[in-house]
Structure 1
Amino acid sequence: MKAPTKVIRTDKWQLNPTPDQKVLLGETVKAYRRACQYLVGIIYTHWSELGELTADQLTPAVERLMHQTAKRPNVKYPQFNKTFYKFPSYLRRAAFAKRRLRRIAFSAGQVSSFVTRYREWQSGNRKRRNAKPPRLNADTGCYPALYKGQCYKLHGYDQIEIKVFNGSDWIWTTVQITGLRERHLVATNKMMSPSLVCNERYCHLSVPFACKPEKRKPKANVTAVDLGINTTATIAVVAHDGTVIHRYFIHPGRDIDRRDKRLKSVSMRASKTMGKGGKLHKEFCSLTYDKCRRINHQIGHIVSKRIVEIAEQFNSEAIVFENLKGWKPKGGRKRSNLRQRFHGWLKAKIRNFTEMKWAELGGKVIEVVAAYTSKLAYDGSGTVKRNSKKYSLATFPSGKRFNADLNGAYNIGARGVFKLTRRNDGEGRSSKSSGRPPRSWACLCDLWARVAPD
C-alpha cells in the first residue's frame, strides 16, 4: 500500500515589534548569518570527509571540529566559541545540520551546491565556452530557525517570546503577533519550527505545518477546469452519469487590466527610449515586470482558491485539468495582441496552486488529453465552428450556439470520469483503427451512452 504523501505548508505570522525589539531581531538575524558564513569555511575545508556523511552524522562531526565542551576541551577551531559567545546550541545546529523534519542545512547545502557546480564546470558542462568557474558565496540571505523551548515560547497566539541577541548577550523578548492564518486551528496539523524573517521592511515568522488531511469520502463527480485567455477559468462539476451539476466562470478582470496596463506602458517607454533603432539595457522596466509578476501571482491564488472551494463544496473525487505541458502559443494576425495575451495565460501557475491547495484537503488533481476538448461538441454532433468575431462562441453542427470554454469544460470532465473509473475501453469512442476518434478524445455524450439502457 502506498504511503500517504507528507504535505508541508507554511503560514506567515505577522509580528509587531517595537522599534527597540526590531533592532534586536535584526541583530539576531545578523549574528546567525555571521555564524553560517563561519561554518561554511569549516565545512568546505573538511568536505572530503564531511561530504559522505549522513545528516545525523554531520552534526556531531562538525561540532567535534569547533565546539568546546568539558569533555572535549581541545578542538581544531576554538575561535567559534570566542567569536559567537553563548551562541544557542539549537541555532548553531540549525546553521549546518538537518533536523528530523528534513530542514535543509544552510551551510552544508551551500558547500554541497558549490562543489557540485564546480565539478560540472571542470567536466566541461558549461552554458558558454568561456564561462567563469562558480564561486563559493557564504554571504547569502538566510534566516534563523527557532526551536520550541530553546529559541521561542508561544503564549497563546497573541504573543511569542523569542531569544534574541542584543550585541553582547542572548536575552528573551516578548513580541506581539498581529496576523495569523487558520492552519494552527486544524487539530491534525503539526506545527514545525518557525523561521524568523526580519529585514528593513517587515518582521514575521514563517511557520511550516505538517498537514495530515483526513480520509475523504467523495461523491461520484469531478470538478473540470478549462483554462483560457478570454475567460481565465471555466468550471463544470460533472457526475459519473454525465449530469452537469454546476458550472461557474472565473475571470478577475480588474487584476488582469492592472497587469496589462503596466505591460502596455513598457512598450510605450521602449519606443520612446529606442526610437527607430537601438537596444534596451538589461534592467529596462525591471520594476514594472516585477509588479506584473506579483499581480500574476495574486491572480493565480485567487483563481485556484475559488476552484478548490467549488470542488470542496460538491465533495468531488478529483479536479481535472488539461495536460498543457509543452504547449507553445502561436501568434495571431499582424498587429494583434494575441501573443501577448498568451504570455499572460497562467495555465501552469493556476494548475500548480490548485494542486497544492487541494492536496492539503486530501484531494487529487488529474490531467487528461487536451486535444479536441473545445473542438468537439459535447453532445456528440461533431466538430464545432468558432465565431471569428467572438471566439468564445461556438456553433454546433446542429446549429446550437454554446460557450466554447464551457463546452471544453464538459468534455474535460467526461474524460476525467473515464480516467477515474477506467471504463473508457470498449465504451464510448473507439480507437483510430475503427475510423472514429480515439478513446482519449471522449466527450460528455459518451458518459450518457455508458449509462443509457440498451
Structure 2
Amino acid sequence: MKTPTKIIRTDKWQLNPTPDQKLLFGETVKVYRRACRYLVGIIYTHWSELGELTADQLTPAVERLMHETQSRPNIKYPQFNKAFYKFPSYYRRAAIAFAAGQVSSYVTRYREWQSGTRKRRNASPPRINSDTGCYPALYKGQCYKLHGFDQVEIKVFNGSDWVWTTVQITGLRERHQVASNKMLSPSLIFNERVCHLSVPFSCKPEKRKPEANVTAVDLGINTTATISVVTHSGTVIHREFIHPGRDIDRRDKRLKSVSMRASKTMGKGGQLYKGFCSKTYLKAARINNKIGHVVSKRIVQIAERFNSEAIVFENLKGWKPKGGRKRSNLRQRFHGWLKGKIREFTEMKWAELGGKVIEVVAAYTSKLAYDGSGTVKRNSNNYALATFPSGKRFNADLNGAYNIGARGILKLTRRNDSGGRSSKSTGRSPRSWACLCDLWTLRSSKLA
C-alpha cells in the first residue's frame, strides 16, 4: 500500500509591533543567531560521534556537551551558559536542531566535492556557513501563547533578561480554520522590512467523492491557460480562458528595458558586469510568481466547483522551444512561458484539497481536431485560430484543451485501447493520441 504524502503548507500571520517591540524582536533574533553560530562550531567539532545519531538522540547529546545542570556540573563547553545567560531551553533546542542541519548539509556537500561530484572541474570546496540568516522557532506554551487569533504572546530578549510581550495579529489566512489541519511550531520572521509569523500546518485533506469529469488545462503563450471541464461521456460542461495580461505586460516591459540598458552599457562591444540588472530580473521573477499563483488558483477553483476527478496537464518535461523568424519575439515569449511554475503551483494547491494531477502525452493535442475530422490548419496571421478539415474555425488552444481532457479521462478509466485509436503497428494513430471524439465513440458503443 502506498504511503500518503505528508502535506505541509505555511501561512503568513502579519504582526503589528510597537517601536519598543521591534527593538525586542531585533534583540531576540540577534541573540538567537549568535547561539546558532556558537553551536555550529561545537557540533562540527564532534560530528564524528553526533552524525550517527537520530534527531531525537542528537539534541540531548549536544546538551551534555554545553548545558550545565545540577546533575551535570562538569561539561566540555561551559562558556555557552555564561555567554547566553537564562537562554530558554526550547530556544536552545531549536538552535541545536538548526545548527545540526547546517553541519550535516556542509559535510554531505564536502564529501560529494571530494568524490568528484562537482558542477565544474575547478569548483572550490564548499564552506560551512555558521553566519546564517535564521529566525527563531517558537514552541507552544514555552515560546509563544495564542490569545484567540487576534493577539500572540512571545518570549523575547530585552538585552538582559527574557520577558513576555503581547503583539497584535493583523493578517491571517484560512488554514487555521480547517479542522483537519494541525498547526506546527511557527517561526518569528523579523528584519528591517517585514515582521510576521511563519506558521506551518500539517494538512490532512478529507476523502473526496468526485463527479465523473476532469478539468483539462492547455498552457500556451497566446493565452496563459485554457480550461475545459470534460465529462466521461465527452460533454464539455465548462470552458474558460485565463490570461492576466496586465501582469504579463508589466513583466515584459521590465525585461525589454534590460536590452536597452545593455546596449547603452556595452556599446558595440564589451561585456556586461556581474549582476547587471539583477534587481530588474528579480522583479520580473516575482511577477512570474504572482502570475503562476493567480492562474493556478483559478484552475483549482474551477476543479473544486465542478468536483473534478483530476486536473489534467500535458507532459511538457524536456520540451524546448524553437526560435521564430528573424527579429521575431517568439523566443522571448517562450522564455516567459510559465508551464512548469503553473503546473507546480496547481499541484500544490489541489493536493491540499485531496485532488490529484495527471499528465498526458502532449503530441498532437492541438494539431488533431477534437471532432475526429483530421489535422487542423493554423492561421498564419493569428496562430490561435485553427481551421478543421471540414472548414470549421475554432480556437486552437480550446481544441487542445478538449483533447487533453479526453486523454485524461481515458487514462483514468484505463480505456486507452479505444476502437478508433490503435497502435502504430496498425497504421492508425497511437492510442495515446486520443481526441474528444473517442469519448463519443465509447458512449455510442455503450448505448448500442
TM-score higher than 0.5: yes
Write the distance in 1 (CA, Å) between the matches of 2:244 and 2:290: 10
- After superposition, the CA RMSD in angstroms is 0.9
**Which residue of the partner structure matches residue 349 of structure 1?**
341
Q: Which digits, 9 at most, give the CA deviation of each residue in 1:282-327, with x for residues without a partner?
A: 1111111000000000000000000000000000000000000111
CA contact (8 A) 1:428 1:450 kept: no
Q: Which residue of 2 aligns with 1:28?
A: 28
1:124-143 equivalent positions in 2, closer than 5 A: 124-143=116-135
The aligned residue for residue 151 of structure 2 is: 159
User: Which residues of structure 2 form unaligned runs of 5+?
Assistant: none
- 1 CA distance for matches of 2:166 and 2:30? 19
Q: Does 1:257 align with 2:249?
A: yes
Q: 1:305 to 1:94 in 2, by over 3 A?
A: same
In structure 1, distance between residues paired with 2:253 and 2:116? 45
Structure 2 residue identity aligned to 1:7: I
d(CA) in 2 for partners of 1:78, 1:427: 78
The one-letter code of the counterpart of 2:318 is G
- Retained in 2: the 8 A contact 1:329–1:339? yes
1:239-250 alignment, distance < 5 Å: 239-250=231-242
Which of 354, 371, 381 does residue 373 from structure 2 map onto? 381
- Which of 187-196 and 406-415 deviates more? 187-196
Amino acid at match of 2:69: T
Query: What is the rounded CA distance, in whole Å, between the counterparts of 1:237 and 1:316 in structure 2?
Result: 8
1:207 to 188, 199, 209: 199
Q: Distance in 1 between matches of 2:414 and 2:2?
A: 20
Structure 1: gaps of 5 or more residues: 98-105
CA contact (8 A) 1:255 1:295 kept: yes
Deviation per CA, 1:187-224: give whole Å up to 9, x if none. 11111110000001110000001111111100000000
The question of whether the paired residues in 1 share the 8 Å contact of 2:418 and 2:442 is answered with: no
Q: Which amino acid aligns with 1:218?
A: P
Q: CA deviation at 1:135?
A: 1.4
Note if 1:150 corresponds to 2:161.
no
Q: State the TM-score, normalizing by the size of structure 2.
A: 0.98
Q: How does 1:65-144 map to 2 (within 5 A)?
A: 65-97=65-97, 106-144=98-136
Paired residue secondary structure (1:383): coil
Task: Give the match for residue 2 of structure 2.
Answer: 2
The aligned runs of 1:49-448 (5 Å cut-off) are 49-97=49-97, 106-448=98-440
Q: Matched residue of 1:171: which SS?
A: strand
Aligned in 2, Cα 1:276/1:349: closer, same or farther, shift over 3 Å? same
Paired with 2:215 and 2:382, the residues of 1 have a C-alpha distance of 26
Q: Secondary structure at the match of 1:245?
A: strand
Partner of 1:370, secondary structure, is: coil
8 Å Cα contact 2:229-2:239 kept in structure 1: yes
Residue type matched to 2:432 in 1? S
Task: Report the Cα distance in structure 2 between the residues aligned to 1:427 and 1:46, rounded to whole angstroms.
Answer: 67
Distance 1:131 1:193 in 2: 38
1:386-443 alpha-carbon deviations (Å, 9 max, x no partner): 0000000000011110000000000000000001001112434000011011100000
How far off its partner does 1:120 sit? 2.0
Cα distance in structure 1, aligned partners of 2:419 and 2:203: 39
Residues 124-176 of structure 1 show CA distances to partners (whole Å, capped at 9, x for unaligned) of 33333332222111001111110110000000111100000011110000001
Matched position secondary structure for 1:139: coil
CA distance in 2, matches of 1:240, 1:120: 50
* Runs ≥4 residues deviating over 3 A: none
Equivalent-residue separation in structure 2 for 1:63 and 1:434 (angstroms) = 71
Q: Distance in 1 between matches of 2:73 and 2:383?
A: 78
Query: What is the Cα deviation at residue 95 of structure 1?
Result: 1.3
> Is 1:428–1:447's contact at 8 Å kept on the other side of the alignment?
no
CA-CA distance at 1:368 after TM superposition: 0.4
Read off the aligned partner of 2:67 and give its amino acid letter: H
Instruction: Give the equivalent residue in structure 2 for 1:100.
Output: none
Partner Cα separation in structure 2 for residue 426 and residue 182 of structure 1: 44
Q: Which residue of 2 aligns with 1:37?
A: 37
1:2 deviates by: 2.8
Aligned with 1:283: secondary structure? coil
Q: Partner of 1:13 in structure 2?
A: 13
The answer to whether the 8 A contact 1:26-1:198 is kept is yes
Cα shift at 1:115:
1.1
**How far apart, in 2, do the equivalents of 1:427 and 1:164 lie?**
70
Q: Structure 2 counterpart of 1:217, which letter?
A: K
